[in-house]
Amino acid sequence: MKSLLIAKAKTIKLDNYFNHLTTEELEARIIQEIHSQNNSIIILDLSQIELIDHPTLRLLLKLFREAKRINKSLKLSSLSPAVSIIFEITKLDTIFEIISG
């Protein structure tokens, strides 16, 4: 008999965080979720983000590396057309797993 391993996922909607948190506070909260024993997959929902700047791209890469370092997965979902173009131009779409909403 085969056993199935079911991954636990946590979705974080970034619009709630971006409104009033600094990059450092946002990083600390997401790192906490990455290190949570309850989550093997973190999905960052970007559906409310229309533009993304360089510091935020750096932060996403840092979070991706941290998740990978501890054998967890960080995925992005629901990118706006403008954000999708930024990910394509920077080739970050080849690094991140991007899932539809």
pLDDT above 50 for 3: no
User: Has domain 9-99 been given CATH number 3.30.1240.10?
Assistant: no
Tokens for 73, please give them: 């997965």
90 compared with 24, residue with greater pLDDT: 90
Lowest mean pLDDT among 20-24, 56-60, 97-101: 20-24
Taking the model in full, what pTM does it have? Answer: 0.84
3-state helix/strand/coil string of 47-91: CCCCCCCHHHHHHHHHHHHHHHHCCCEEEEECCCHHHHHHHHHCC
> Residue 56: its pLDDT value, please?
87
Q: Helix (H, G, I), strand (E, B), or coil: what is residue 20? A: coil
Write out pLDDT tens, residues 25-84: 888 989 999 999 888 999 999 999 888 888 889 999 999 999 999 999 999 999 999 999
Q: Helix (H, G, I), strand (E, B), or coil: what is residue 93? A: helix
How do the domains of the chain map onto residue ranges? Answer: 9-99
Q: Helix (H, G, I), strand (E, B), or coil: what is residue 23? A: helix
Kindly state the average pLDDT of the residues 9-20. Answer: 73
Distance, CA of 83 to CA of 22 (rounded, Å): 20
